[in-house]
A = this chain, B = another copy of it.
């Protein structure tokens, strides 16, 4: 395990603040106060406020991209793949709930890197859609409106960052299984 350097500490504290108030409402002085240093000292470790956001969001985005690419290569049924996607979200989110808030709510402030982020996001959604479409084609999944299906699953998975921190001792396996049951099998008796 890499030891935490000063820059990583800043990223962690920043993500916490960004979650609480949003990127734009957090000042460099707020961040400095929570780091117990002065604002100017932050610049010994980071280039700019925007660069902090960039690192938080893109590192997570790339984890999703890698995870998804691993899953679509698998030789498995569509339902199995969907379950793996669900687990991917639970795993990444539970490891970094604060960063997920920035990814969901502050991506529009990325500046330079905005287009790159949007590309990653679009590709991810497209792979997700493809898995569902394959499931419909192979008769594993109900032929419900594809877009509504995708939207519903993504909404739930993307909101996990709000919900996970509220539950004490989340078990990743258990939560993934519950979500699979609800998202895939439904709630009707």
Contacts and interface: CB of A to CB of B under 8 A. Distances in A.
Contacts of A23: 22, 25
Given A22-B24, A156-B156, A158-B159, A182 B141 contact: no
Interface string A163-189: 100010000000100110111111111
A141 B188 CA distance: 5
A145 interface: yes
B145 A20 contact: no
Contact of A179 (B21, B140, B148): B148
Contacts of A24: 21-22, 24-25
Contacts of A156: 151-152, 155-156
A139 interface: yes
Question: Assembly of this chain: how many copies?
Answer: 2
23 contacts: A21-B108, A22-B24, A22-B105, A22-B108, A23-B25, A79-B188, A141-B188, A142-B186, A144-B181, A145-B178, A147-B167, A148-B179, A148-B182, A149-B187, A151-B156, A151-B159, A152-B183, A155-B155, A155-B158, A155-B163, A182-B186, A183-B186, A185-B188
Interface of A: 20-25, 79, 105-106, 108-109, 139-142, 144-145, 147-149, 151-152, 154-156, 158-159, 162-163, 167, 175, 178-179, 181-189
